Amino acid sequence: MLVAMARKSANDDPLAPVTLAVGQEELLLDRAVREVVVAARAADADTDVRELTSDQLQPGTLAELTSPSLFAERKVVVVRGAQDLSADTIKDVTAYLGAPAEEITLVLVHAGGVKGKKLLDAARKAGAREVACPKMTKPADRLAFVRSEFRATGRSATPEACQALVDAIGSDLRELASAVSQLVADVEGTVDEAVVGRYYTGRAEASSFTVADRAVEGRAAEALEALRWSLATGVAPVLITSALAQGVRAIGKLSSARGGRPADLARELGMPPWKIDRVRQQMRGWTPDGVAVALRAVAEADAGVKGGGDDPGYALEKAVVTIARAARSRGRG
């Protein structure tokens, strides 16, 4: 599945006369182009592929590229940045859309939006195959992307592993795709959170939040192990206290909020919906008193990390143990 997460039109033949790849997610756009090229070369290994930018496609150029060949060779013509084509060139392309040449596949890569909308409308009216490649700005979209990447390889990964990978890598789809490929190549069986942790907890943000997640879940031993690993790999102690503070505050916010759907609570509390679901799972053992104790522990650790104590590592370990105990305060009550 080369175009993971890209939405396609009903006409899903990559060898359709015209493919319209629309959006601003570069990885998905590249995959949409590659899918067409792979299909064309599967049909004819000698397929000629021509890629042009908008400034390279001048009036008359498309006619030259799509003119009949003595050898009737298959050809793929890719136009990047189609939204930036000149008015005269758009006239050429629009005319071509009405009578596309045989054995030639035209791929128009368009950013979408208002600019160049006339070309978009013309291509859609002509029945072009469309692949939507929107920018993935929401964490939930990136999480779905990671899941689809694992599915595309025929491998399974736990939900926790997928989330950990998104937390570790961030918003760059190319890096996320590369990370999935590496894990699939190196690891046998189901990819779980522990595997992701071994590969990627060296990243400062990810490892600090791993410490916080394990602490607020009451998993003291794992939190301490993650803390020592973070400090050993050079994570700044202040990042860890910040992550601990965010974790405990999220528990406090959600426990005092009115019930409702994750989307409603997300708007009310300023958290993404996926975060609401995670915090709901983490808050099961918490009480209001436990939250108060944990917040004091974070404040003490923060003071110790910022110069109030001689050993930042010890201050963090003490906070982690206190928070983990507070996470189980309901069970001890």
**Can you spell out the DSSP letters for 177-225?**
HHHHHHHHHH--S-B-HHHHHHHHTTSHHHHHHHHHHHHHTT-HHHHHH
Residue 333 lies in a domain: no
Whether 206 and 200 have beta carbons less than 8 Å apart is answered as yes
Tell me the per-residue pLDDT of 70-91, one tens digit each, with 9 for 90 and over: 566 789 999 999 999 999 999 9
Asked whether residue 225 falls in the same domain as residue 267, the answer is yes
Asked whether residue 62 falls in the same domain as residue 89, the answer is yes
| Average pLDDT, integer, range 222-249 | 85
Q: What angle do CA 64, 67, 72 make, to 5 degrees?
A: 135
pLDDT band at 264 (very low <50, low <70, confident <90, very high): low
What is residue 103's predicted lDDT score, i.e. its pLDDT? 87
Least confident of 101-105, 126-130, 169-173: 169-173
Asked whether residue 318 falls in the same domain as residue 280, the answer is yes
| Average pLDDT, integer, range 135-147 | 88
- What's the CATH code of the domain at 302? 1.20.272.10
Residue 101's nearest CA partner among 18, 45, 38, 41 is: 18
Percent of the chain with pLDDT over 90: 47
Q: Which of 133, 167, 186 is the last residue of a domain?
A: 133
Is pLDDT at 294 greater than 80 in this prediction?
yes
Asked whether residue 187 falls in the same domain as residue 218, the answer is no
Burial class (CB in 10 A: 0-12, 13-18, 19+), 249: middle
Q: In the structure encoding, which two tokens stand for residue 211, read together? A: 């410490």
Asked whether residue 286 falls in the same domain as residue 316, the answer is yes
Is pLDDT at 170 greater than 50 in this prediction?
yes
Residue 8 lies in a domain: no
Q: Which of 183, 200, 217 is the last residue of a domain?
A: 200
Number of structural domains found in the chain: 3
Q: In the structure encoding, which two tokens stand for residue 142, read together? A: 């990136």
Asked whether residue 297 falls in the same domain as residue 238, the answer is yes
Least confident of 29-33, 156-160, 168-172, 186-190: 168-172
Residue 10 lies in a domain: no
| Average pLDDT, integer, range 293-320 | 88
Asked whether residue 109 falls in the same domain as residue 42, the answer is yes
Asked whether residue 234 falls in the same domain as residue 296, the answer is yes
Domain ranges, residue 243: 208-327
Residue 172 lies in a domain: yes
Asked whether residue 295 falls in the same domain as residue 246, the answer is yes
- What's the CATH code of the domain at 183? 1.10.8
What is residue 131's predicted lDDT score, i.e. its pLDDT? 95
Asked whether residue 84 falls in the same domain as residue 27, the answer is yes
Better pLDDT: 37 or 170: 37
Q: In the structure encoding, which two tokens stand for residue 131, read together? A: 């692949």
